[in-house]
Amino acid sequence: MRHLELKALAGLLNLVVVLGLSLFLPAMTLDYWQAWVFLGVFTACVLAITVHLMVHDPGLLQRRMQVGPVAEVRPRQKIVQSFASIAFLALFVVSSLDHRFGGSEMPVPIVAGGDLLVALGLLGVFQVFRQNSFTSATIEVVGHQHLVCTGPYARVRHPMYAAALVMLSGVPLALGSWWGLPVLVPMTLVIVGRLLDEERLLERDLAGYREYRDRVRYRLVPGVW
């Protein structure tokens, strides 16, 4: 197995361990079936995406592995990504604390619906990857990058963020927590701030983006914004 593939699998394992710790440590128990199901759904989906990229688009896989505040070049995005990391982990920690203190009574069908949203959101991410090989985890325009305006990009300008929000909205439901839902507000604000900054860079550096922006009016939700 090549170094890139080993690194990608190690990165996935590290992410799953971090998520597991952020769920089971605050809950102070392993008796948290919603968390186990969520981890299974999330891991299976992300592993499938990772294997697909290993086979079909290793260049994109390598770009996606350069993630987080340290990977960003621009100071503004370092700050944005720091807040994004905090808000992301808070989504799990708050839901876990809710489980620990019994703050929510959520019906099983809603929990299952949350897992479905997680899977659908990650399916949306996969579709974006198939359409656009330039979806780096950092905001940048590489020398050979060209404008992609087909598939999900024909409906909204930022389908990756839209799919991520679908996935994130399913997390507190999948974890059986009503109290986790308000954490989506700062997470959404961080994503909106990131995409607005990304648009300014794309308008400046990516040929044809301004015309594409005028043609595809909506950023995240068709008919809304």
- Locate tokens 């700050």: which residue? 79
- pTM metric for this prediction: 0.89
Contact at 8 Å (CB) between 76 and 161? Answer: no
Q: 164: Cβ–Cβ under 8 A, 6 or more apart, which residues?
A: 121, 125, 191
pLDDT for position 138? 62
Structure tokens at 140: 């940048």
Distance of CA 98 to the CA centre of its chain: 23
pLDDT for position 147? 76
pLDDT for position 148? 79
Specify the fold of 3-215.
Four Helix Bundle (Hemerythrin (Met), subunit A) (1.20.120)
**207 vs 74, residue with greater confidence:** 207
Q: Which of 194, 190, 218 is CA-nearest to residue 138?
A: 194
The yes-or-no verdict on residue 139 having pLDDT over 80 is: no
Q: Among positive and negative, which fits the CA dihedral 124, 127, 129, 134?
A: negative
> Number of H helices and number of E strands within the chain?
8, 0
Structure confidence at residue 199 as a pLDDT band (50, 70, 90): confident
